[in-house]
Structure 1
Amino acid sequence: MTPGSNLPLTAARVAVDVTAPVRLDVSGLLLAADGKVRSDADFVFYNQPAGPGVTHSAAPAGGDTITVDTAAVPDGIEKIVVTASLDAAGATFAGTEPTATVRNADDGSALASFTPPRLGSETALVVVEIYRRAGAWKMRAVGQGYANGLAGIATDFGVTVDEPAAPSAATPQAPPAPPAPPAPADHWAPPAGAPAPVAAPPAPPVAPSPAAAPGTGTGTGKVNLDKGRVSLQKNQTVSLVKGGRPLLGSVRMGLGWEPAFRGKNIDLDASVIAYGPDRKKIDNCFFGKLMILGGAVQHSGDNLTGEGAGDDEAITVHLGGLPPEVTGLVFVVNSFSGQKFSDVAKAYCRLVDARTGEELVRFDLTHAEPRTGVMMAKLIRQFSGEWEMTAMGEFVDARTVRGMVKPGGQAL
């Protein structure tokens, strides 16, 4: 769908999955004919997950879901808007556009999808809306952004957010709340009477698995994440385990590069190939196919120049949401235009916790060959359930991800 487009809903119960390469806070607001909430009961989010006909839950493949049972929505409600705000303080949606997938909530079939284009300084969005028209229910793609975060949405829809230091409340038609401190500025305060988040009980102490110290050169020493960020060299492996527990949340593989010669653009394409236990390809995710495996793997989109700081392209993987038949992922970079990696400087890949933004593992490519493809890293699922990441740095002659499928399978 494109901004402003609409379509009739063919299901009475619809689920709106909102996902992005970064952690989002997703909410649903039930609006009356005046475009405002009637009370805090019309504000549905992680800390108040149920309202009249609307519920909040975790999406099956990462992200959050707002489910609307149109038959249970009160007569006085004209529309339900689905919003998203960034979890990280000060972050904007530039380069991290969310995707809304609308499904039949009963059989899971996809009805529509929408990714707001051309986002920049926005810190909160109205992504889509479910609305009544002439007695029928429809969906509209919106993509309206707010540079002032949740406060902008609150002003529009009659919900205010109190200072974090004060008792939390979301009160319709109340005066605007005073500015919040910078750190929690992009978090909704829970409505009055909503239960406070309950911290999970501390895990029992588990002795970390013995691991060899990191090697050098092409050594194969393997470590885990207990001591913080791990820097890998070629062929080294890290077990994605921390405190004795496997990492099974959402991780982001960021890939970056710079032109070796000033003023020369480098158009490279990052991709990931998913394999089964027989080393045969199950699917691949790249700039032309931004989501695979039911949303468990998502691509950030194509970067045409390689200029600028930070990751050029990113691929987010919800490890716990991968189908059991996926046992290996190979992350690759290709030059479709035929430019060689000898024209590329500072190529790297890094694994980041998508929820916290913490960098977990980094691999800097220290040499280059005049070839058009490189296998940067692989993730392998172990029999015990945890994943291991190995730095590769293997060059091949292939200008597209299709040409990487066979060498990627051989490298598993």
Structure 2
Amino acid sequence: MTDSIPAPPAATDRSCPDSAPRVVIVGAGFAGLAAAKALAGSALRVTVIDHNNYHLFAPLLYQVATAALSPADIAEPVRHILAGHPNVEVILGTVEGIDTTARRVRLRDGENVGYDRLLLATGSTSTYFGHDDWAPHAPALKSIEEAREIRTRVLSAFERAERARDPAERERLMTVVVVGGGPTGVEMAGSIAELARHALARDFRHIDPTRARVILVEAGPRLLAAFPDDLAAYAGRSLERLGVDIRLGQAVESIDEGGITLAGRRIPAATVVWGAGVTASPAAAWLGLATDRSGRIPVEADLSVTGFPDVYALGDTALCRDAEGRPLPGLAQVAQQQGTHLGRALRDTLTRGTPLPPFRFRNRGNAAIVGRHAAVFDFGPGRRLRGFSAWLLWAAVHVVLLVDFAQRARVSLQWLWRYLTYRRGARLITVPPPRR
């Protein structure tokens, strides 16, 4: 099969001939990167396409948004990660369509990349449930740019409050509303509360940051709906001890530059953070497929897209079910396991002709951190942790999952320094603050 992307110079092509099967991976998130690593060193040509040049450790984005870490602590260039694997190439580009008949991926710049097998691991984006006009006033947390914007909004609001003379305006500037009671919302609310009550407490002269209001809004009846009741209740109590005002059973009616309206009540707020929902990327539209409500593509047991045996979907892009028929959650561990499984399976299939085995998810625990010394860990029926032990385990797991040793060392040292001093060293306003 002839590709429209020219072959690299012979001096750099040290692994596979042009006749070797080509596996194209769209997306360098947890699933795509895991698949690429599993295919590395094989007799296959592997191409990774992503619109970013870095792999992002998304579970720690909230720490960038709350000045605990810098973007470089949780992102690593994809080329650097895969540099030691000659059979893997990386293309920085944005996919706009797929021709499954010709087996080509179309990029925005007009180039086409041919494939023998195509892996779609394009992740997810935020959804405002039909209220896209809320997005400018309530940034979500799916990218480094959004995390930096949230950090700027929070820190800039305190700076403006320091100069405000009107008590009502000062209170508005020191009010943060987090929408969504899932892990993202819980972690954001707890981290913002700790930022105000500890890291900023002694830095201002005319305001008292410890009196900042942090409000966590959830339309459902409780926080952390995917966790057992006792862990969700513990998370709620821990947030309340940090001073977080939890509003359950209250749906958002409107968000604008001045604040938010909940159940008919107006709450003036300078900062609103959206963590209430995600939807899959537009990969399904490229294939002309119907999806579930979250935009995910139905897949078979071997992760192939139904009706397209040479195309596979992984991670947040895929509607994959467990042995009981329940959809697997959009978690990093699901994506990583799928990527590793499919990469190894395709390696055997394309080089030895073995059939693709079905994917089986092994739950290694679902976690959420609430604050200092407080976290919840759910390993399945009858196996759960909470409190200090869960907090230590959460920290250890996240450090291990970082892709680079230097990142692990930096994050570990920064967490230790933050633990001992309550300080946060990434309190930089690096983008223009909104006019609010």
Q: TM-score, normalised by structure 1?
A: 0.25
- Higher relative CO (Cα under 8 Å, sequence separation at least 6) belongs to 2
Higher percent of residues as strand: 1
Q: From the two aligned structures, give the one with the greater helix fraction.
A: 2
